[in-house]
Amino acid sequence: MDTRFNSLSRDADEPHKLVNALNGIFSEVTVRAARPAWFTKLQWSANRKFDENNAFLRKLAHEVISHRRANPSQKKDLLNALVNGKDPATGSETTGNLLAFLLYYLMANPKVYATLREEIDRVVGGDPLAPEHLNKLSYTKACLREALRLQPTVPVLAVKPVDVDGPIVLGHKWELDGPQTILILLHHLHRDASVWGENAEDFNPERMLDKNFAKLPPNAWKPFGNGQRSCIGNEFAFQEATIAVALLFQKFDFSFADPEYKLTIKQAASIKPANLFIHAKLRPGVDALSTTQGVVHEDTIGKPAPATDNVFSGVNDLKPIIVYYGSNMGTSMELANNLAKSAIQRGFQCTAAALDEATGSLRPGVLSVFISSSYDGQPTSNGAKFIDWISALSPNSLTGVEFVVFGCGNREWRDTFQRIPNLIFALLEKHGAKSIAAKGSADAAEGDVLAQFVTWQASDFWPCVANLHGITPGTTDEALRVAVVHQKPTFQPIQTGVSAIVKKVYQLTDDEVRPKYHLELELPERHNYEVGGYLEILPRNPLELVKRALTALGLKEDDVLELESSASTPLPTGVPLLAKDLLSHHLDLNQPATVKQLELLRDCCEVAEDKQALDSILEEGNRTNVLTRRPSLLQILEAVKIGNLPMPPPTTQTQTLLYFILAIIIAVKMYFDLVCLAAPRSIPSSV
């Protein structure tokens, strides 16, 4: 809504004034419903505060709406729906609390949980959710109705007789002295045994299926209020909840964080479960890349991308790939998602799943990739079941299974370094499975784990996958090809950026491995940033450093290059661009060289003294584990004589070039990729 309340960065004792105003209003409304109107008029202080809170909310709402109308946008957000649309909406708090109660009842009733998930799998499957799916989710809607029956998020209705002058009797039982206020407790109304049966306390969605729901007596189910004061957004809220449940259970499995949890209620503006914590994990075959997909209408979204122009294009019967990750802190999971995305872009059917999902699931005809870490020599929390299962298998029980293993670790823990990845590799081979490639590994002590992983993909994994499909080694495409072309450059780097001043930086989390930070920037005058806008930080190498790189690579500033990639890359491909722009805006020229890059350059050295110098750098890095002590590739190219590096296949469009593999960082997203920088054969050496 173009408005930020900084609820995450504020101290817990100092919420935004909006929160205080809402809490004050709801509290006052609650107590007003329980006292006579004449007594409320005497509460001068409370009434004044109530009016102030209402005035603040109205003023804030007017400012938000006026700002959007004065600055229209095409955002598909709730504010545009309210300003431009005609459908009523309801509050998000009651809907969120409904979902919390529903999750509790589903986890507490495994059979109901399984039935709901089966319906969503049958109706929606792996496709994006579409409007036509909603009417077919009858059991899902029944579960929501039943959760609202047992735990209506607004549990009390206040009514009073109208057009009466004297005492009346309700239901031949209760005598009222005129128009008195009556509180209806929905908790009891919704558990009336005469309507709901002797099992009224049980969570039983079958009673809420459409046919049974239509037979209920009038006023037996009132979770959205009563009469003219009933919720005007009830249809919106119910549809919103149905969509949320379908999307959540399509992607995730849920379980109690505390298996012994007993439902207790917390009441504020509405009621919700108190201290309910759950575990959510991706379902088998669902990768993290798909979890951001919502309700979409494009037929292509959510389906594998078509094969790109690479060595696998045109190959029939590509073997499906499943990437299993053992991960506590998220590193191995990110690597698995990286590989899955790369495989899909090459035309493979590929999914990522937790390591435990491989238990009992390994089979011939599917390439199984295992990416795992160790924690004190023990398997990850999502991999212990798999380790127990594979350890107990009999010999040759995995015959015909093909696999690859990549391990993450830190050699500073020498006794347990790579223990679990090594164990997985050994047990798979012991039970008859066949590895199609040597085990890969990444060492966090070297830094740049993702760079090491992508290097392994290009140098080991994809060539071996090509072999598996009968493609001759050496004909696989490079991750990126660069050619000097005789064309006018058409790609222009972004020139509209402005300089900003960093005003404040502090750490938000205690996570030592993956900390999150709060960053505040001061923009120049006449440049505004609105909440929900996109802020891109563009790094740029100093001009002097760029000139050094051009010299080392034998290029000139006005040389025009064209990049071609067989995989997805944030680099500009397919368009001519100046060498100076590529080196200035797209490559981190100060990135320290990795061990594998140093080993490659050492093996290609033409001078014995240079080779010894690189050996010394490798030895020092191995001994100290200090990444920053290693020189960058640019520094090495300026200092040593290099020859006999891997050559690209000669074509009529490209010159004979040497390829230097660089690890790059793109903008501030910390995405790593492999780049093959082209240079003429003659490379100047320096002292």
Mean pLDDT (the chain, rounded): 77
The pLDDT of residue 567 is above 70: no
70 and 99 share one domain: no
Q: Considering the domain boundaries, does residue 255 fall inside one?
A: yes
346 and 304 share one domain: yes
Containing H/E element for 273? strand 271-273
Domain that holds residue 51: 17-78
120 and 260 share one domain: yes
Q: Considering the domain boundaries, does residue 576 fall inside one?
A: no
* Higher per-residue pLDDT: 450 or 543: 543
- Long-range (24+ apart) CB contacts under 8 A made by 458-461 are 458/661, 458/674, 459/596, 461/339, 461/404, 461/406, 461/437
- Boundary residue ending a domain (56, 78, 100): 78
Q: Considering the domain boundaries, does residue 681 fall inside one?
A: no
* CATH code: domain of residue 405: 3.40.50.360
> What pLDDT digit, counting tens, does each position of 298-326 carry?
333 233 333 344 566 566 678 899 999 99
Terminal alpha carbon distance of the chain: 59
Q: What is the mean pLDDT of residues 455-471?
A: 84
Alpha-carbon span 528 to 511, nearest angstrom: 32
Q: Considering the domain boundaries, does residue 559 fall inside one?
A: no
Q: Considering the domain boundaries, does residue 682 fall inside one?
A: no
- Boundary residue ending a domain (277, 308, 334): 277
State residue 445's pLDDT score: 64
The pLDDT of residue 356 is above 70: yes
Mapped onto helix, strand or coil, the DSSP state of residue 158 is strand
Match 């990126």 to its residue by tokens: 480
Q: What percent of the chain has pLDDT over 90?
A: 25
Six token digits for residue 71: 């600055």
Q: What is the mean pLDDT of residues 392-402?
A: 92
Q: Considering the domain boundaries, does residue 685 fall inside one?
A: no
- Boundary residue ending a domain (37, 56, 78): 78
73 and 111 share one domain: no
226 and 369 share one domain: no
How would DSSP label each residue in 623-640? HH--GGGSPBHHHHHHHS
Q: Considering the domain boundaries, does residue 103 fall inside one?
A: yes
Backbone dihedral region of 330: left (phi > 0), alpha (psi from -120 to 50 degrees) or beta? left
CA dihedral 145, 148, 149, 155 (to 10 degrees): -160
48 and 165 share one domain: no
pTM for the predicted model, two decimal places: 0.40
- Long-range (24+ apart) CB contacts under 8 A made by 232-238 are 232/88, 232/90, 233/88, 233/89, 233/90, 233/91, 234/90, 236/87, 236/88, 236/89, 236/90, 237/90, 237/94, 237/95, 237/98, 238/141, 238/144
341 and 407 share one domain: yes
246 and 333 share one domain: no
* CATH code: domain of residue 165: 1.10.630.10
Report the b/e string of 526-558 with b at 16+ CB within 10 A: eeeeeeeeeeeeeeebeeebbebbbbbbbbeee
State residue 626's pLDDT score: 40
Helix crossing, 595-603 with 449-456: angle to 10°?
A: 50
Q: Considering the domain boundaries, does residue 574 fall inside one?
A: no
Question: How many structural domains comprise the chain?
Answer: 4
429 and 498 share one domain: no
125 and 240 share one domain: yes
The pLDDT of residue 81 is above 80: no
72 and 100 share one domain: no
> What pLDDT digit, counting tens, does each position of 545-555 carry?
999 988 888 88
> What pLDDT digit, counting tens, does each position of 37-80 carry?
888 888 999 999 999 999 999 998 888 888 888 888 766 667 77
141 and 68 share one domain: no
Beta-strand (E) ranges in 338-458? 350-354, 367-372, 402-409, 434-435, 440-443
